[in-house]
Amino acid sequence: MKFDTPATTNPIDRLRVIGQPLDRIDGPLKVTGTARYAYEQHDVAPGQAYGYVVGSAIAKGKIVSMDLAAARRAPGVLAVVTAENAGKLDKGKRNTAKLFGGPQIEHYHQAIALVVAETFEQARAAAQLVVVKYQEEKGAFDLAALKGAAPNAPSEEDSPTQSAVGDFAGAFASAPVKLDQSYTTPDQAHAMMEPHASIARWDGDKLTLWTSNQMIAWGVGDLAQTLGIAKENVRLVSPFIGGGFGGKLFLRADILLAALGARAAKRPVKVALQRPLMFNNTTHRPATIQRIRIGATPDGKITAIGHESWSGDLKDGQPELATQQTKLLYAGANRMTSLKLAVLDLPEGNAMRAPGEAPGLMALEIAMDEMAEKLKIDPVEFRIINDTQVDPEKPKVPFSQRQLAECLRQGAQRFGWDKRSATPGTLRDGKWLVGMGVASAFRGNLVMKSGARVTLGKDGIVTVFSDMTDIGPGSYTIMAQTAAEMMGLPIDKVKVELGDSSFPASAGSGGQWGANSATSGVYAACVKLREAVVQKLGFNSADAVFEDGAVKAGNRAVPLTQAAGDGEITAEDTIEFGDLDKTHSQATFGGHFVEVGVDAATGEVRLRRMLAVCAAGRILNPKSARSQVIGAMTMGAGAALMEHLVVDKRRGFFVNHDLAGYEVPVHADIPHQEVVFLDETDPMSSPMKAKGVGELGICGVGAAVANAIYNATGMRVRDYPITLDKLLDRLPALS
List, by residue number, the catalytic residues: 695
- The separation between the first and the last C-alpha atoms of the chain, rounded to the nearest angstrom, is 64
**Where does 433-570 have alpha helices with state H?**
475-487, 514-537, 560-563
If DSSP states are collapsed to H, E and C, what string results for 205-253? CEEEEEECCCCHHHHHHHHHHHHCCCHHHEEEECCCCCCCCCCCCCCCH
Whether residue 449 contacts residue 507, with contact meaning beta carbons closer than 8 Å, is answered with yes
> How far, in Å, CA of 472 to CA of 475, rounded?
8
Whether residue 152 contacts residue 294, with contact meaning beta carbons closer than 8 Å, is answered with no
> How far, in Å, CA of 550 to CA of 398, rounded?
42
* Number of C-beta neighbours around residue 85 at 10 A: 12
β-bridge mates for residue 52, sequence order: 115
Whether residue 456 contacts residue 564, with contact meaning beta carbons closer than 8 Å, is answered with yes
- Classify 158 as helix, strand or coil: coil
> Apex CA 139: angle with CA 136 and CA 144, to 5°?
160
Q: Could you give phi then psi for residue 8, rounded to 5 degrees?
A: -70, -25
β-bridge mates for residue 343, sequence order: 313
Residues 6+ apart with CB under 8 A from 674: 414, 609, 610, 611, 612
* Strand residues in 276-401 grouped as ranges (E): 288-296, 302-313, 334-343, 390-391, 394-398
Q: By C-alpha distance, which of 391, 616, 596, 408 is closest to 516?
A: 616
Kindly state the helix (H) or strand (E) to which residue 575 belongs, with its residue range: strand 568-575
> How far, in Å, CA of 557 to CA of 539, rounded?
10
Whether residue 117 contacts residue 79, with contact meaning beta carbons closer than 8 Å, is answered with no
Q: What share of the chain is helix, strand, coil (3-state, %, to 5)?
A: 30, 30, 45
Specify burial of residue 205 (Cβ count, 10 A radius: 0-12, 13-18, 19+). exposed
Q: By C-alpha distance, which of 87, 51, 84, 81 is closest to 227?
A: 87
Whether residue 12 contacts residue 516, with contact meaning beta carbons closer than 8 Å, is answered with no
The dihedral through the CA atoms of 373, 375, 378, 381 has a sign that is negative
**Exposure on the CB side of residue 29, measured as CA atoms within 13 A:** 15
By DSSP bridging, strand 302-313 and strand 334-343 are: parallel
> How far, in Å, CA of 416 to CA of 433, rounded?
17
> How far, in Å, CA of 352 to CA of 361, rounded?
14
* Distance, C-alpha 198 to centroid of its chain: 21
**Exposure on the CB side of residue 311, measured as CA atoms within 13 A:** 31
* DSSP-assigned states of every residue in 244-286: -TTTTSS--HHHHHHHHHHHHHTS-EEEE--HHHHHHHS-BBP
